[in-house]
Structures are given as C-alpha cells and as structure tokens.
Amino acid sequence: MSHDDLIARRRVLGGAATALGALGLSSWAQAQGASPAALPPAKPLPAYAAWKNPAALVVHSGTTIETRRSAFGSSVITPAQQLYIRNNLPAPDASILDKRDEWTLEVSGVKQPRSLSLAELKTLGLETVATVLQCSGNGRGFFPSKPSGTPWTVGAAGCVLWSGVPVRTVVAALGGLAEGAVFLTGTGGEKLPEGVDPLSVVVERSVPIKALEDCLLAWEMNGEPLSLAHGGPLRLIVPGYQGVNNIKYIKRLSFDASESKAKIMAHGYRMTPPGAQTSPDQASVWEMNVKSWINGPAADAGPVKAGRVQIHGVAFAGTKAIERVEVSVDGGDSWHTARLVGPDLGRFAWRQFALSVQLPAGTYQLASRAVDTAGNVQPADRVENAHGYNNNSWRDHAVKLVVA
Ligand SMILES: Nc1nc2c(c(=O)[nH]1)N[C@H]1C(S)=C(S)[C@@H](COP(=O)(O)O)O[C@H]1N2
Ligand SMILES: [Mo]
C-alpha cells in the first residue's frame, strides 16, 4: 500500500475506528459491549509520520513509536509504514528533503578530507544490505525496576533493506584513513537548540573502526527514497549495532583516535549498573546481542483453536548469523528446535523461525531461545542496568497463549 493510499484509508476510517485499531482494542471493546466513545483516544501520529499505519503501531509520544508485536507478520522485511521511530531530538524540517542530491556530508580523518554531495556519493558505489534496526531500549518495558525511558516491549525493532554507498568505498575515494583512526563517528544533522552546549544535545555516536568494513551511507530504504522519519536524505547504517549508532540525516563522518565527547556518547547509552552514575568507562551499546521473540499466534488476538498451531517469530544476533532457534510451550522446561524460514537475507538481518505443534485446550507459556554461529545462547535473564538497555532475556519475552 502506498503512503497516499494509507492516508486515504485513514480518512475513510475516521477517528474512532482508527483509534481503536491503534490501541488493538476493537475486539476487546466488542466483547465488553463497550461503546467506542468510552475508550481513551490513541495518541495521533506526528505530522512527519502521518503516512504510517496507525493500526500497526503504539504511539508512546511524538518521537517514540513502536510496532505492535502482532503486526510484524512473517515475511522478514518490516514495511516502512509500520517500522518504529525513535528521535532523541525533534525531527528536522521536511524541507531538508526538497533537494536531496544537494545534501552534503563532511568527511574528516581521511587523507583528503572534504565535503561530498549526495549526488556525488551516488556515483561512488552502490550496495544493498538487510539489517535489524533496533533501539537498545527495546525490551525495557520488561525490567521490573522500571528504568526511566520509553517502556518498549518488542516493537522498537524492524528488519529493513538499505541501499547506499559503502563507507569503505568513500574512504578509499578520499585517499584512505589518516593515521591513528580508532573510532568512526557520525553526527546527526538536526538543528540544535540555541543557548545550550552543543555537546549536551547533538546526536553524535562513535563505533569501533572495525565496523567500517560493513557500514553504509544509505539513501534508500525498502525500495523508496529514505523518509524524513528514518533519516533521509542520508543515514549511516552500522550493521549489527544498536539503533542509536545508525545516525539519521548524517552531516559529518569522521575517523578519530578517540570517541566523541558528546553527552549521548560519553554518558548516554552505557551499561550503567543499577543505582550508579553514568560514566565513559562503562560499556557503550554497540553490537547487538543474540535475541529472539515470538510474534504469533499473537497473544492479543485472543484464544486460538485447539489442534495444530504454527508458532513463529524472529531471531537475530547483531553481526553474527543465527545458528538455531528453540521454542518452548511450557515456559522453558522443555525445548524443541524450530525451523528457520527463508529467505536468508544475510547475517545482519533477522531470521524467521516456525514450529508446528499440536496443542490441546489449555494455557501455554511460549518462549524462544536463539543460538548464534559463535555459540552464544540467548540467556534466561536480562543484565540489570540503570537505563534498561540490551534486554535479550528469553524469559522476559515469553508470551501466554490460551488454546480453547
Ligand atoms: N540524527 C539522529 N540519528 C538517530 C537518532 C536521533 O535522534 N537523531 N536516534 C537514534 C536512535 S536512539 C535510534 S533507536 C534510531 C531509530 O531509528 P528509526 O527512527 O529510523 O527507527 O535512530 C538513531 N539515530
Ligand atoms: Mo534508540
């Protein structure tokens, strides 16, 4: 469905039906015999994301929107209309997309540092990669400690296709790396509020230089010019790394001996022990860990019929491929190896998995546990940390299924 079709459909549906759909409460309301007007209205989509499908999303705020677990489907790629959004600063004005090809990127820390227009970048190279884009706070909603920040469950993630030029190709075109480059740093193109220290607000992240091999400067997502919501006209993609490292509307790329001094790098997105202060010596949220969860049968769709049930979900492991996924219907007491469903879009994409089981009437606790090609096993428990990052606990991601 095109963006225009979606907008048209939303108009036809009107406020109440759309709001109910967005809350996932239509069937609940019917079952209760409640009038739609009695339910709280869903938060509307912000203007820059008005083209998204509200029924597939939970709008936490104008800058934090997640995909419903039941909306992930089972065909690997997450459509743009239902992909999550996370903005640390207000999104830039849509006018930055008016002349996409005139967007400039300043590159430093190379032998011949200079600015390149998007038009020139497009002449240098072209590659397409499928990656999991996931906010490091995905799963924060399962922390009993209720860390501050958006209580995402599983929907601050998606698997998308990016097209652009490899960063290593750009570096080669600029004479190669300068001496002493240890980190790759990307800077977002947001207009910063006046009167504050830019380092306290700028979205600027550094990743270890080894990521250079896989990084892409992308201008297209899922076959469409990159939207403003997802970082158009140009975005840094760091395959296998947590979302925050994938800098939207990138305007500066540098290769340096040390990490950025920006607050979001030095103090934000660190694995801070519970109760401690953030500090640059704590681990940064970089490579994603091995993780999986079940998307269907969707717990929010009500009871399923007794008999054969197809359990399915997604699994990924940052820069590593998935080796195996196991599924439990008894809360982790026993496990069955699931089938990995194609297509395999490479080690940075997620794999669909499926397990067909006979389930008599009853209540089941469905869980999934992934193993990557390096032998890392998705753990039962989360690593406790002050801000609720990196939750890959299979127990936290288990879902209750009622079979009738
Ligand atoms: N310029 C810029 N890049 C950014 C952000 C931002 O606020 N500004 N947010 C980051 C975070 S925390 C995440 S999780 C992802 C979200 O990407 P999405 O909105 O396309 O889903 O973008 C990252 N890149
Ligand atoms: Mo994020």
pLDDT in tens, 145-171: 999 999 999 999 999 999 999 999 999
Ligand 1 atom 18: residue of nearest CA: 85
d(CA 136, CA 285): 7
Q: Which ligand sits nearest to residue 134's alpha carbon?
A: 1
pLDDT at 273 over 80: yes
Give per-residue pLDDT as tens, 30-80.
Answer: 333 334 445 566 899 999 999 999 999 999 999 999 999 999 999 999 999
Question: In sequence order, what are the beta bridge partners of 371?
Answer: 324, 377
Is 308 a residue whose pLDDT tops 90?
A: yes
Could you tell me if 78 and 67 are in contact, meaning their C-beta atoms sit under 8 angstroms apart? Answer: yes
Give the integer Cα–Cα distance in Å for 140 and 230: 22
- Can you give the pLDDT at residue 40? 63
The pLDDT of residue 298 is 77
Alpha-carbon dihedral 20, 25, 28, 30, rounded to 10 degrees: 10
Ligand 1 centroid to 25 CA: how many Å? 29
| Ligand 1 neighbourhood includes 135 CB (under 6 angstroms) | yes
- Percent of the chain's residues with pLDDT above 90: 88
pLDDT of residue 9: 38
356-402: pLDDT as tens digits:
999 999 999 999 999 999 999 999 999 999 999 999 999 999 999 99
Q: Which atom of ligand 1 is nearest to the CA of 190?
A: 1
pLDDT of amino acid 50 = 97
Who wins on pLDDT, 242 or 2? 242
Predicted local distance difference test score (pLDDT) of residue 301 = 75
* pLDDT tens, residue by residue, 73-92: 999 999 999 999 999 999 99
| CA 161 remoteness from chain centre | 12
Question: Which residue CA neighbors atom 24 of ligand 1 most closely?
Answer: 247
Q: In this model, does residue 29 exceed pLDDT 70?
A: no
Judge if the beta carbon of residue 86 lies within 6 A of ligand 1: yes
pLDDT at residue 24 is higher than 90: no
The atom number, within ligand 1, closest to the CA of 134 reads: 14
Q: Please tell me the predicted confidence (pLDDT) of residue 14.
A: 34
User: Which residues have CB under 8 Å from 143's CB, separation 6+?
Assistant: 382, 384, 388, 391
Residue range 322-333: mean pLDDT, rounded: 98
CB 235 near ligand 1, within 6 Å: no
Give the Å distance between the CA of 229 and the centre of ligand 1.
9
Q: Is the CB of 243 under 6 A from ligand 1?
A: yes
pLDDT at 3: 42
Does any ligand 1 atom lie closer than 6 A to the CB of residue 116? Answer: no
pLDDT at position 39 is 55
In the predicted model, is pLDDT for residue 1 greater than 90?
no
140 ligand 1 Cβ < 6 A: no
Pairing outcome for strands 183-188 and 157-166: unpaired
Q: Nearest bound ligand to CA 387? A: 2
Mean pLDDT of the chain: 91
pLDDT score of 25: 34
Q: Which is the closest atom of ligand 1 to the Cα of 83?
A: 21
Q: Are 217 and 105 in contact (CB under 8 A)?
A: yes
How much of the chain, in percent, has pLDDT values that exceed 70?
Answer: 90
- The distance of Cα 230 from the centroid of its chain, to the nearest Å, equals 10
* Euclidean distance between CA atoms 199 and 205, whole angstroms: 11
The alpha carbon of residue 252 and the mean position of all alpha carbons in its chain are separated, in whole angstroms, by: 22
Position 18 scores a pLDDT of 37
Q: Which residue is it, tokens 């801070």? A: 272
Instruction: Give the integer Cα–Cα distance in Å for 384 and 344.
Output: 32
The CA 102 to ligand 2 mean position distance, Å, reads 28
**Measured from the CB, is residue 270 less than 6 Å from ligand 1?**
no
